[in-house]
Amino acid sequence: MLERCREMLSGRDLLTTHDWTREELTAVLELAEDMQKERWSGKYFDVLKNRTFFMFFYNPSVRTRQSFECAATELGGHAQFLEPKSMRLKTAKTAGETIEDAARVMSRYAAGLGIRMLEDKVAAYGEGYKMIKEYADWADIPVSSMADDRFHPFQGLADTMGMRKHIGKDLKGKKATLVWGHGALARSWCSVQEYILMSSLYGMDVTIANPEGYDLDPEVIGWAKANCAANGQEFKVTHDQKEAYEGSNIVYSRNWMSPNAYTPDGEFLKAQEVEKALAYPQWICDEEKMKLTDNGLYIHPMPIDRGHEVTDEVASGPRSICVDVAENRLHVQKAVMAATMK
């Protein structure tokens, strides 16, 4: 299983799941499932022996750093934590090392590089993804997005691993619902966009519900629509929560920022975004809405903004798979690292 993944993916970057085929993604998911099953058997303990994975964090994290460090350790390697404030890097306002030079030198030290850069560290939507892609273009080692302002491929894989476990490995025809939730965090689009890309790729009907003014990336919406069309499934965007919840097999309720979150000068308007979002208290996932589903599961990438995006009753209820999905991050990251960092 591991050798098959390596034959397919050795040296490959992972900036978004959209760059990989369904066959490649399924191979990684199957490897991750085996790694979960064999976690303490010793089967994978030496896969990355003496290899280092650089973790480059422009944004802080809880689960991302923890899960990558655990992943490297359990594969026999090492994950090294890096922050831009501790490095002399060139920016629009400061002199320093260019991305080209940094990426080429890092390639001489480590066997893989992950970068995390979210919405509040960029001056316009898409710049985080663009920067990570530039690192990938110059690096001679596999580069992965550990979350940027457009994509979060490891979260998309973890979500799908959770759905495969709880709904069944054949997801075709199941209804995946994405619902905007009001909240106080002004979140990026990365996780929710990966959710619709993966669910549509695996043959699910996809419904997005949001208030007017909270549309997602048109290009990503186009890719998800094309996936659904190729699978003979339905893709729908609605402003009606009842329509979205009805018959759902899985509900993903999460806040995301509006397309107007940045000024022309590159200021991220977090306070204004939060104030605007909090004006929609009716956009919360609660038990009443979940009763409209087909005994639907609740999923969220965490951290959960409880009391805004979702009630405690749902988030901690028997149909919530949030903690399972959080664990899955460890296993899918191990699988991708083992496959790409040969």
Same domain, yes or no: 142 and 243? no
Residue 237 above 80 pLDDT?
Answer: yes
* pTM of the predicted model as reported, rounded to 2 decimal places: 0.97
Same domain, yes or no: 145 and 273? no
In a domain, 293, yes or no: yes
Same domain, yes or no: 119 and 222? no
Confidence of residue 224 (pLDDT cuts 50, 70, 90): very high
Average pLDDT over residues 20-36: 98
In a domain, 124, yes or no: yes
The confidence score (pLDDT) of residue 26 equals: 98
Reported in sequence order, the residue ranges of the chain that DSSP labels E, i.e. its strands, are 52-57, 78-82, 112-117, 143-148, 175-180, 205-209, 235-238, 250-254, 297-299
Confidence of residue 95 (pLDDT cuts 50, 70, 90): confident
In a domain, 256, yes or no: yes
In a domain, 159, yes or no: no
Same domain, yes or no: 97 and 190? no
Count how many domains the chain has.
2
Same domain, yes or no: 17 and 131? yes
Q: How many CB atoms are closer than 10 A to CB 156?
A: 27
Average pLDDT over residues 209-238: 98
Same domain, yes or no: 316 and 333? no
Same domain, yes or no: 118 and 146? yes
In a domain, 160, yes or no: no
Locus of tokens 């991302």: 64
Same domain, yes or no: 291 and 332? no
Q: How far apart are CA 107 and CA 48, in angstroms?
A: 16
- Domain membership of residue 144 as a residue range: 2-151+326-340
DSSP 144-198: EEEEESS--HHHHHHHHHHHHHHT-S--TT-EEEEEE---SS---SHHHHHHHHH
Residue 134 above 90 pLDDT?
Answer: yes
Residue 113, classed as helix, strand or coil, is strand
Residue 197 above 70 pLDDT?
Answer: yes
Q: Nearest 5°: phi and psi at 237?
A: -120, 130
Confidence of residue 84 (pLDDT cuts 50, 70, 90): confident
Average pLDDT over residues 122-140: 97
Residue 223 above 90 pLDDT?
Answer: yes
Confidence of residue 93 (pLDDT cuts 50, 70, 90): low
Same domain, yes or no: 185 and 314? yes
In a domain, 49, yes or no: yes
Same domain, yes or no: 176 and 124? no
Same domain, yes or no: 106 and 183? no
Same domain, yes or no: 195 and 276? yes
Share of the chain above pLDDT 70, in %: 99
pLDDT, tens digit, 9 for 90 and up, residues 250-294: 999 999 999 999 999 999 999 999 999 999 999 999 999 999 999
**Distance from CA of residue 214 to its chain's centroid?**
19
Confidence of residue 342 (pLDDT cuts 50, 70, 90): confident
Residue 85, classed as helix, strand or coil, is helix
The confidence score (pLDDT) of residue 29 equals: 98
Average pLDDT over residues 189-198: 98
In a domain, 157, yes or no: no
Share of the chain above pLDDT 90, in %: 95
Residue 91 above 80 pLDDT?
Answer: no
Average pLDDT over residues 305-323: 98
The domain spanning residue 88 has which CATH number? 3.40.50.1370
In a domain, 158, yes or no: no
Q: What is the mean pLDDT of the chain?
A: 96
pLDDT, tens digit, 9 for 90 and up, residues 284-307: 999 999 999 999 999 999 999 999
pLDDT, tens digit, 9 for 90 and up, residues 173-192: 999 999 999 999 999 999 99
